[in-house]
């Protein structure tokens, strides 16, 4: 008779996500994971196969929750697109209180740490980046359709510019840059949409 598991597997994935997000893939050992999840190495391997598999599950969990939050914030039909964009960009770089290390974005951190050396990770980070691009394009198209942006406004080029800005903001947040400076950059990025109608 199989012995029942003494832990919640999804809770373990959530806690592993937090650990990988704080420390990165390479700096997180199997021992660290065992201590964080309160699992013996054999239980960890039996449940998740290996560290890499658990990391992929953690990355998938982060992508699902982060993307859902981002889409909710951007899908606000009642406000002008410039306000929605500004608030979303500010939400992305909510800097922690003094003394606490900034974590940045788990997907961006992973892309910069592992780059293109891991196809499974690269597929996931690129898919996450494409979701961000799609959300930006949808917002800009909405602005153009509601005459908040000119009819000849280049949605695709501006979405790429804003996407690049997003990545830069997330890296700067992780590096501990001042929130006021990031807000200045956000206001300048929103300014690329031109003056409101």
DSSP 123-151: HHHHHHHHHHHHHHHHHHHHHHHTTSS-T
pTM for the model: 0.88
Task: Lowest mean pLDDT of 37-51, 97-111, 137-151, 162-176, name the range.
Answer: 97-111
pLDDT score recorded for residue 4:
44
Helices (H), the chain: 9-23, 30-37, 41-48, 51-74, 81-92, 106-114, 119-145, 155-174, 179-191
pLDDT score recorded for residue 7:
62
Q: Which domains does the chain have, with CATH numbers?
A: 59-191 (1.10.357.10)
pLDDT score recorded for residue 42:
86
pLDDT score recorded for residue 97:
58
The dihedral of CA 86, 88, 174, 171: what is its sign? negative
């Amino acid at each position: 008779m199989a012995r029942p598991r003494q832990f919640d597997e999804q809770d373990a994935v959530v806690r592993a996500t937090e650990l990988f997000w704080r420390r990165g893939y390479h700096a997180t050992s199997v021992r660290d994971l065992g201590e964080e999840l309160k699992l013996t190495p054999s239980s960890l391997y039996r449940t998740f196969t290996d560290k890499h598999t658990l990391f992929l599950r953690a990355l998938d969990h982060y992508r699902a929750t982060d993307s859902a939050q981002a889409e909710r914030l951007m899908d606000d039909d009642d406000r002008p697109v410039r306000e929605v964009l500004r608030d979303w960009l500010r939400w992305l770089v909510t800097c922690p209180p003094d003394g606490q290390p900034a974590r940045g974005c788990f997907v961006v951190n992973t892309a910069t740490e592992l780059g293109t050396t891991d196809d499974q990770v690269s597929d996931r980070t690129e898919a996450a980046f494409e979701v961000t691009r799609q959300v930006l394009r949808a917002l800009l198209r909405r602005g153009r359709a509601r005459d908040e942006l000119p009819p000849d406004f280049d949605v695709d080029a501006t979405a790429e510019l804003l996407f690049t800005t997003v990545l830069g903001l997330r890296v700067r947040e992780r590096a501990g840059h001042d929130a006021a400076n990031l807000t200045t950059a956000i206001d300048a990025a929103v300014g690329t949409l031109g003056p409101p109608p």
